[in-house]
């Protein structure tokens, strides 16, 4: 249970970083944006949109429903490439994403 709590806290930290850097959107993208078959919905959503509208809700739903969590999980490498070095909040976002990845690697001590 403590592991789930750590994951939930990390998800909230991701949301905080997105909000702090004005990357949180008040309105969801059009429904067709969620029909993508590409990893991270690269063809229909920005990296920040994917975090807000796909990753965070899905992870919260898994936690809320008591469903099994992914065994292997890593999103930080994509964001290292997807976000330009000068992107506002990039470094802070990468830190929280790396911390999330560590929780799924079992490196959360």
User: Residue 39: inside a domain, yes or no?
Assistant: no
pLDDT of 57 above 70: yes
User: Residue 17: inside a domain, yes or no?
Assistant: yes
User: Residue 40: inside a domain, yes or no?
Assistant: no
Q: Which residue has the higher pLDDT, 1 or 102?
A: 102
User: Residue 35: inside a domain, yes or no?
Assistant: no
What sections of the chain are H helices per DSSP?
A: 2-20, 47-50, 56-65, 76-82, 90-104
pLDDT of 102 above 90: yes
User: Residue 34: inside a domain, yes or no?
Assistant: no
pLDDT of 107 above 60: no
User: Residue 30: inside a domain, yes or no?
Assistant: no
The residue with tokens 């949109």 is: 49
Q: Is the dihedral of CA 29, 35, 39, 44 positive or negative?
A: negative
pTM of the model: 0.90
Q: What CATH number should be reported for the domain holding residue 81?
A: 1.20.1440.40
Q: Which of 35, 46, 44, 31 is nearest to 78 (CA)?
A: 46
Domain that holds residue 80: 2-23+45-104
- Overall number of domains in the chain: 1
């Amino acid at each position: 249970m403590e592991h789930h709590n750590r994951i939930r806290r990390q998800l909230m930290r991701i949301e905080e970083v997105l909000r702090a850097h004005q990357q949180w959107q008040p309105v969801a993208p059009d429904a067709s944006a969620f029909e993508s078959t590409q990893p991270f919905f690269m063809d229909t959503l920005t990296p920040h949109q994917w975090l807000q509208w796909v990753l965070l809700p899905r992870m919260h739903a898994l936690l809320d429903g008591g469903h099994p969590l992914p065994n292997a999980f890593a999103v930080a490498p994509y964001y290292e490439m997807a976000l330009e070095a000068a992107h506002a909040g990039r470094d802070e976002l990468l830190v929280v994403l790396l911390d999330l990845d560590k929780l799924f690697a079992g490196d959360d001590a």
